[in-house]
A and B are shown apart, each in its own frame.
Chain A
Amino acid sequence: MSTNALPAEVPLLSPDLLAQLEKLELMSRKIFRGRMKGERRSRRKGQSVEFADFRNYVHGDDLRFIDWNTYARLDRLFLKLYLEEEDLHFYALIDASASMNFGEPTKLLYAKQLAAALGFIGLKRADRVRIETLGQPVRKPGPVLRGRHSVWRMLEYLDGIQPGENCSLVQGVKNFCLRNSGKGILVIISDLMDKQGYQEALRYLVARQMDTYVIHVLSQEELEPDVKGDLRLVDCEDSDVAEITVSAPLLKKYQQTLAAFVDGAREFCLRRGMSYLLAKNQLPVDQLVTNYLRQRGLIR
């Protein structure tokens, strides 16, 4: 059920997927200020080819942007304003706790693949991509990636992520916020299985006014547990024990609890303007990216 290390031969991004991702780009429902000139419209007016507005000429304005045609017709000076194009900040926050190391494929691998795919899209469009894990220390942020050439660095970095970080969801999100002050798109990939609850952690992100996507990864074993007999369930993170005798009512109750859990998370996210997506590890990543995430508007 559990695998300790990633199999080396599993590529995070398959060539087929890469070909599909080439055509996509990350979308944000919000328009953020970027740091550098990029390929995205900014709220700021600046230099680009995309016309935004006119305004009266004031002394000192660049003469190059005066609309001479208007001047000829109206005999007044107007300045053409163009939309500034900037880069987009894309953050992927991966939960690399021990519980993510379950499933076939493991939820962690699934998360990495997803992050890689999204990161690739971002890099390709010259966005600023940063991938981090929850358990990353405050003072050791993940690398900032930019440009197509950074794809291999990104993959290398993802490969280096190992499961077993023992860090609560709240603490991890808090650290993330401390490290990254900028705005942008944040994709949290986690199973949300935290005994202290995911709500507080997500609230931090609300405050940051980021365009947040919560991708809830659950494995087949969690969705439809195939267990029988008298069992002592041991939590892989805190060694907590639950003794169960599997019976039909128990399984039914489990399903109800799971449904309530998932619905609760979705409800929580929707109320706070976040996008929630339940990802089963049996659903291939390319399908998730090309179908589901497109529907959600994360990518175009």
Chain B
Amino acid sequence: MWPYVLAMEWSSMLSWWQWGALASIVPLVIALYFLKLKRLPLEVPSTYLWHKSIEDLHVNSLWQRLRQSILLLLQLLLLVLLMLALARPSWQGSNLSGGRYIFLIDNSASMSATDIQPSRLQEAKHRVEGLIDEMKSGDEAMLISFSDSAQVVQPYTDNRSELRRKLAEIKPTQRTTALNEALRVASGLANPGQTGDRKANPYDAPVAEALPAKLYIFSDGRFPDVKDFSLGNLEALYFPIGEDTAANIGIVAFNVSRNEEQTDRWQAFARLENHGPEKVETAVELFFNGESIDVDKVEIEPGESSGVAFDLGEIATGALELRVGKADHLAVDDRAWTVINPPRRAKVLLVTSGNEPLRFALSTDPAPELAEVVIDTPDVLKQADYQKAAAGSAYDLIIYDRCRPDQMPQANTLFIGQLPASDVWKAAAKVNVPQIIDSDRTHPLTQLVDLGEVLVAEGTPLTPPPGSTLLIESNKGPLFALAPREGYQDAVLGFELVSDGALGTNWPVKQSFPVFVLNVVKYLGGASEGQATMTVQPGRPVAWKSDTTAPQIKVTTPGRATLEIPRGRLSTFHINATEEPGLYEIRDGGANDPVSGRFAVNLFSGAESNIPPRPEKELTLGYTKVKAESNWQAARRDGWKYLLLAALAILLLEWYIYNRRVYL
């Protein structure tokens, strides 16, 4: 208590003469008391006994005198208390004076931890509320909430009630944390940018006047240090929120995949981290479509992680949920979801005048499971049906074998022995027997494709547009390249597989050819084998591909809300409302239609699951280290209310004593 009394501040609203008037009341009360002290005359049979009683009492007379003037003392005490109350004493006082404040409030997932009741975010809001109370008229403040992105909740204002209202509106999110954006937003006004180099252009002035401000950061500090940032005119204060004893077990990974050896069987894997001070043993329970199917027990040392695997056997499509049995301070990472979606077949159009190796490769397992292949002759390119289908993204992939359309289709393309119609692709003259010297083994299109003994009769070295990826190179130049086009991708193979009925290369007889075709179907066709562990972090957008022709799909969120998502430009559906962790169900038609697909939103962030506050007790913002403010007294504590209450109590006591219902 004592340090707080020392730190007490006074912010009186009275001027000196008002204080003088107030101080003069004290002698006035004393004078009035003695002037007033008119004892009530009362006739009694005899004062004999009273005199004797008084004489005896006079032995300890000082105390008696005090007791007799107890009313005076109480009145003086009352007055002193009132004067103190007028002086508006407060503790941990107003650092806020005549300035600008920016309150950065972390509302990331870890701020939902309940090691501080009711939650860290509530605590942060409570503290900010205290600071808002402390603001004086003329002070301006800005509220920014941040998780992985920053949001200006309230721009600079001196309206305190508005600040409080907006503060209350800050809601917890389940996102990860990154301070960068919030800092950049905050520094926008304090450090106005310059249009150029000052030395080079002496007339260049800042576009706005710099407005220094104090930056209050309320966070548990679980974010990476911020680099490349200068506080400039900002003065940063960091208030760590959270207890060092906070304990949490979080699921940081959970996915499902086919068994390597038995491809019809599925396996689920999860990784759990223990961010508590003690070793934890907990049960993890696995649910499939809401029904418990397996339970396992894990032991995790503090600060360590542990994996857990489940053999699922043969299961159909559906949703898997993993739950940690032990309750801890952060609930959001105690559950995780993953989904097994039905396989999606890519729609592939092969336009060729005859390409037996390619057709054969496309009909080899597992390509038919992945793709629905339509083969047509180059004549179709002139037909309206094709043009409509190509422009309406009816196909995922169109393979043009030795032919090309006039208009590039709304689909990924593979050109074989032919350049696309656009003039961005260039090619040199035909060369004989180009030697393949290298291929990109990491790219999905050419991975596992061994071109070591592949011979090419004649080829056309390509000059792809800028930004392309060269996948196969020969001693004469690139033979296979991939270039982006308006959200689609065009791959061009610089040699013919079949020319005039004969093979132009020995590649089709090599093992690598079917692998390459499969890669093309998977990568350019966008086919999936049915697991496609669709999981994103909260707040991240999801691009959903669907075979439906409907203009919109319906998404049911974990909170059972239904959203209608319109078809996007690239025939995908962009789902942005993914704040809530859990399972999202997608239906192509009405709400009662069967679920056509699912995706899961999971926190899966070790940094967020690690809820004990940053141990270093400081932040590094650019080159500045900001020490944590350890001694937080919940903002300004106005003392006058308590003093007034005490004064009221004394007034009541005085009245009580005066009426002698009680004797001292």
Contact = CB atoms under 8 A, between A and B. Distances in A.
Interface of A: 1-2, 98-100, 102-103, 107, 191, 193-195, 219, 221-222, 227-237, 240-251, 253-254, 256-258, 261
A171 B394 CA distance: 138
B40 to A, nearest CB: 5
Contact of B47 (A230, A233, A247, A250): A233
Contacts of A1: 43
Contact of B42 (A107, A219, A233, A257): A233
Interface stretch (B79-87, B326-334, B417-425, B656-664): B656-664
Given A102-B44, A222-B45, A231-B40, 19 more contacts: A98-B45, A99-B45, A107-B45, A191-B45, A195-B46, A228-B660, A230-B37, A232-B42, A235-B46, A236-B46, A241-B47, A242-B54, A243-B39, A244-B54, A245-B68, A248-B663, A250-B54, A256-B53, A257-B56
Nearest to A191: B45
B52 interface: yes
B43 A2 contact: yes
B200 interface: no
Given A2-B43, A230-B40, A248-B664, A193 B57 contact: no
B50 interface: yes
A221 B49 contact: no
A232 B41 contact: yes
A27 B41 CA distance: 46
A221 B26 CA distance: 39
A257 B53 contact: yes
Contact of A242 (B40, B50, B663): B50
A251 B49 CA distance: 11
B59 to A, nearest CB: 10
Contacts of A246: 660, 663
Contacts of B663: 246-248, 251
B71 to A, nearest CB: 9
Interface of B: 37-54, 56-57, 64, 67-68, 658-660, 663-664
A46 to B, nearest CB: 48
Contacts of A232: 39-42
Contacts of A240: 47, 51
A176 to B, nearest CB: 21
Contact of A231 (B39, B49, B658): B39
B660 A221 contact: no
B660 A235 contact: no
A193 B53 CA distance: 15
A231 to B, nearest CB: 5
Contacts of A245: 67-68
A99 B48 CA distance: 11
Q: Which 5 A-B pairs have the closest CB atoms?
A: A248-B663, A228-B660, A193-B46, A99-B45, A232-B39
Contact of A193 (B37, B48, B54, B660): B48
A235 B67 CA distance: 25
Contacts of B40: 229-232
Contacts of B54: 242, 244, 250, 253
B187 to A, nearest CB: 69
Given A231-B40, A244-B54, A246-B660, A258 B45 contact: no
6 contacts: A2-B43, A102-B45, A195-B48, A229-B658, A251-B663, A261-B52
A253 B50 CA distance: 9
Contacts of B53: 250, 253-254, 256-257
A213 to B, nearest CB: 22
Contact of A234 (B41, B49, B64, B658): B41
A100 B46 CA distance: 10
Contacts of A248: 663-664
Nearest to B660: A228
Contacts of A221: 44-45
B57 A99 contact: no
Contacts of B49: 193, 222, 254, 257-258, 261
Contacts of B658: 229
B664 A233 contact: no
A251 B664 CA distance: 11
A229 B660 contact: yes
A236 B43 CA distance: 6
Contacts of B37: 230
Most buried by A among B43, B57, B64, B660: B43
B39 to A, nearest CB: 4
Nearest to B52: A257
B44 A236 contact: yes
A38 to B, nearest CB: 39
Nearest to A98: B45
A30 to B, nearest CB: 33
Most buried by B among A98, A246, A254: A254
A235 B664 contact: no
B45 A247 contact: no
A250 B57 contact: yes
A2 to B, nearest CB: 7
Contacts of B51: 240, 242
B45 A253 contact: no
A157 B663 CA distance: 47
A276 B308 CA distance: 102
Contacts of A195: 46, 48
Most buried by A among B46, B49, B53: B46
A253 B39 contact: no
A253 B54 CA distance: 8
Contacts of B57: 249-250, 253
B428 to A, nearest CB: 118
Contacts of A234: 41-44, 47
A247 B662 CA distance: 9
